[in-house]
Structure 1
């Protein structure tokens, strides 16, 4: 499963951009990367292939962002992938650590589960 490209970054516009700003950015990038309007370079076709890839990405981004329904679905998918915000409370103490003992830095990480030891032997049934 591939990751979804960031269409706003491809067009160079913010997510709050209007339809007019998206169209303006699209036209500018099409002029820049289209084979008929760009300057020819003699590098064995490497820059032409890169320009065609970028042109294809610009056209895909414009197709999604120019249609209000597709743009709304894309925006919902963008926010869904970023995760759910979690509120965190940090409790600070003003207690001074004992002399000769430094206060441990705050640590966090994945939760680890270890089974508890039994304090009494199993009873036979």
Structure 2
């Protein structure tokens, strides 16, 4: 095995012949013990926080590789042949199609364009009774005050 590739089975404390259920169980138990939200914080001034986060990321990366059957088989092949991690497991991680991203920026509004906007309505709405000449359903008039 190469020195560039970590041993994901050792990180999750499972055997290479472990089933998907055993890998999930090991991942969840390690996540409960190492996640900062589910354990007591050490009063060391934050010096262990970076190491804890690094270990947590290693656990999560191990689970990502070992939980996917395609990535796991590529990882096992690279372990047997001793090739570097960028060769086989790196290519299986990037099997997706690249996506073009467009950013549409709106131009800043000019001071003249603010004058074209309707006025702001404020105050309570006043209701007027309908005129007496309308039989049937009345249509109320609403008066609003504008700035």
**TM-score class, shorter:** 0.5 to 0.7
- Say which SS state the counterpart of residue 37 (structure 2) adopts: coil
- The 2-side partners of 1:53 and 1:38 are apart by 16
With 44-53 and 10-19 compared, the bigger mean Cα shift is at 44-53
Name the counterpart of 2:27.
Answer: 26
Please, what TM-score do these two structures have when normalized by structure 1? 0.62
- Consecutive unaligned residues in structure 2, runs of 5 or more: 84-147
Q: How does 1:91-110 map to 2 (within 5 A)?
A: none
- The 2-side partners of 1:47 and 1:27 are apart by 22
Which one has the largest radius of gyration?
2
The structure whose residues are more often helix, as a share, is 1
Runs of 4+ in 1 over 2 A off after TM superposition: none
Name the counterpart of 2:142.
Answer: none
Q: How does 1:3-82 map to 2 (within 5 A)?
A: 3-81=4-82
Name the counterpart of 2:137.
Answer: none
- The 1-side partners of 2:31 and 2:71 are apart by 21
TM superposition shift of 1:2: 6.0
Q: How many residues align?
A: 82
The structure whose residues are more often strand, as a share, is 2
Cα RMSD after superposing both structures: 1.7
- Say which SS state the counterpart of residue 48 (structure 2) adopts: helix
- The 2-side partners of 1:24 and 1:9 are apart by 14
Please, what TM-score do these two structures have when normalized by structure 2? 0.53
TM superposition shift of 1:45: 1.0
